Amino acid sequence: MTWVKGKSGNPRGRPKGTGKLEKLRKAIEDDLPDIIKAVAAAAKSGDTAAAKLLLDRAVPALKPVEQPRVTLPAGGSLVERGEAVLSAMQAGEIAPGEAQAALSALAAHARLVEVAEIEKRLSELEAKLDEQT
C-alpha cells in the first residue's frame, strides 16, 4: 500500500474506548468504590498525599475575594489617581500586587483616552480637509 500525501491512512480515526486511559478506567471500574475508601482511609490516618488527592478532586480551589480598598479621586486626573494608588501602597493599605493591578488598569484607561482623543482630532482634521476641497 502506498501513502498518498495529504490523505489519512485511517480516515475514521481510532475507535472510541480503545485508548490506554479508557482501558484503565474499565479495569478499575468495579474496584473504584474500594479504591476511594482506601484513599480516604489513608488521608484520615495522616497521608498528606492522599488528602491532597481527595481535596484536589472533590473541593474546588479557593479563589481570593477582591474588595476595593482604595478610593480614587472622583474626576481627578490619571496622575492624581495613580498617586492615590501609590500612596495607599506606601501607607500599607494595599499590597504591591494590588497597586500594580490598579496602575495597570489606569494605564489601559490612559491608552483608551489617548486613542479617543486621536480619533477626535483626526475626524476634525478630515472635516477641515473636506471643507477646503
pLDDT tens, position by position, 16-67: 877 888 888 889 999 999 999 999 999 999 999 999 999 998 888 887 766 7
pLDDT of residue 7: 81
Whether residue 109 has pLDDT greater than 90: yes
Whether residue 124 has pLDDT greater than 90: yes
Question: Is 56 exposed, middle or buried, given 0-12, 13-18 or 19+ CB atoms closer than 10 A?
Answer: exposed
Whether residue 10 has pLDDT greater than 70: yes
Q: What percent of the chain has pLDDT over 70?
A: 96
Pairwise pLDDT comparison (2 vs 99), residue with the higher score: 99
- Does this model's pTM top 0.85? My answer is no
Q: What percent of the chain has pLDDT over 90?
A: 53
